[in-house]
């Protein structure tokens, strides 16, 4: 099902209002696992891929999936199949093992992306028995722009990114935080052109939402707070 941006923004606000109302007025870091619990999902960490290809998956009906015990692959290795219940989100353990800078922010975005699938895509995947265990690859994350030339699944993934970002960085709060970092007295009514010195503003506010720089930058662009590169 294809949604408008306004619908996704309203859904994000509704999720925060129902479960984390303080986040609609104050910058704060959302624990993605608290979100999963709030919407009724269980979660597990498993090596669901022998590399970083699959970052997370959501189970829309009881099903099975191959688990790689070591989280890596060498010739001759075989996976073990495990059963998972409907409503379970599995995060690739390799993401938690990562020592890369900002890995915790990446994990938060992946978890919230999977929660977004549960919030908006249940009917879509439940109606497709061959897709009840939906995996999200590394290429599915990051971009939040979609158009009619994309496949339905591509749009679904882009919109999960959009909804996840909207939940993590509520529109009114991040807009206010950005201009506060720039010492604006009032929020401009029109988008402003991005300038290199604004990188410092974004770097300052990104940690307030538990995010890395790039997701914060693109969130502000999606909201038409800023434009340009």
Whether 73 and 139 share a structural domain: yes
* pLDDT tens-digit readout, 79-117: 999 999 999 999 999 999 988 888 899 999 999 999 999
Whether 14 and 100 share a structural domain: yes
Whether 23 and 101 share a structural domain: yes
Position 167 scores a pLDDT of 98
Position 17 scores a pLDDT of 98
Whether 103 and 36 share a structural domain: yes
pLDDT at 5 over 90: yes
* pLDDT tens-digit readout, 32-64: 999 999 999 999 999 999 888 999 999 999 999
Range of the domain at 132: 5-168
Half-sphere exposure for 115 (CA within 13 Å, toward CB): 30
pLDDT at 75 over 90: no
Whether 149 and 186 share a structural domain: no
Whether 68 and 120 share a structural domain: yes
Position 22 scores a pLDDT of 98
Final residue in a domain of this structure, among 120, 136, 168? 168
pTM, rounded to two decimals: 0.95
Whether 157 and 174 share a structural domain: no
Please tell me the total count of domains within the chain. Answer: 2
Whether 155 and 182 share a structural domain: no
Residue 201 — very low, low, confident or very high, per pLDDT cuts 50/70/90? Answer: very high
Measure the CA–CA gap between 193 and 198, rounded to whole angstroms.
10
Whether 175 and 115 share a structural domain: no
């Amino acid at each position: 099902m294809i949604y408008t941006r306004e619908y996704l923004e309203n859904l994000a606000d509704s999720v925060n209002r129902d479960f984390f109302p303080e986040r609609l007025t104050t910058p704060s870091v959302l624990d993605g696992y608290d979100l999963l619990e709030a919407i009724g999902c269980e979660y597990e960490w498993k090596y669901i891929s022998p590399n970083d290809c699959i970052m997370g998956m959501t189970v829309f009906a009881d099903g099975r999936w191959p688990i790689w015990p070591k989280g890596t692959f060498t010739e001759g290795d075989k996976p073990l199949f495990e059963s998972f219940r409907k409503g379970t989100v599995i995060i690739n353990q390799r993401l938690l093992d990562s020592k890369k800078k900002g890995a915790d922010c990446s994990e938060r975005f992946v978890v919230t992306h999977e929660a977004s699938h549960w919030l908006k895509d249940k009917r879509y995947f439940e109606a497709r028995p061959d897709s009840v265990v939906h995996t999200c690859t590394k290429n599915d994350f990051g971009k939040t722009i979609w158009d009619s030339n994309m496949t339905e699944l591509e749009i679904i993934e882009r919109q999960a990114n959009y909804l996840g970002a909207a939940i993590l960085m509520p529109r009114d709060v991040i807009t206010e935080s950005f201009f506060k970092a720039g010492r604006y007295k009032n929020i401009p009514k029109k988008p402003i052109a991005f300038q290199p010195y604004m990188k410092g503003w974004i770097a300052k506010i990104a940690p307030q939402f538990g995010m890395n720089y790039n997701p914060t930058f693109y969130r502000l662009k999606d909201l038409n707070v800023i434009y340009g590169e």
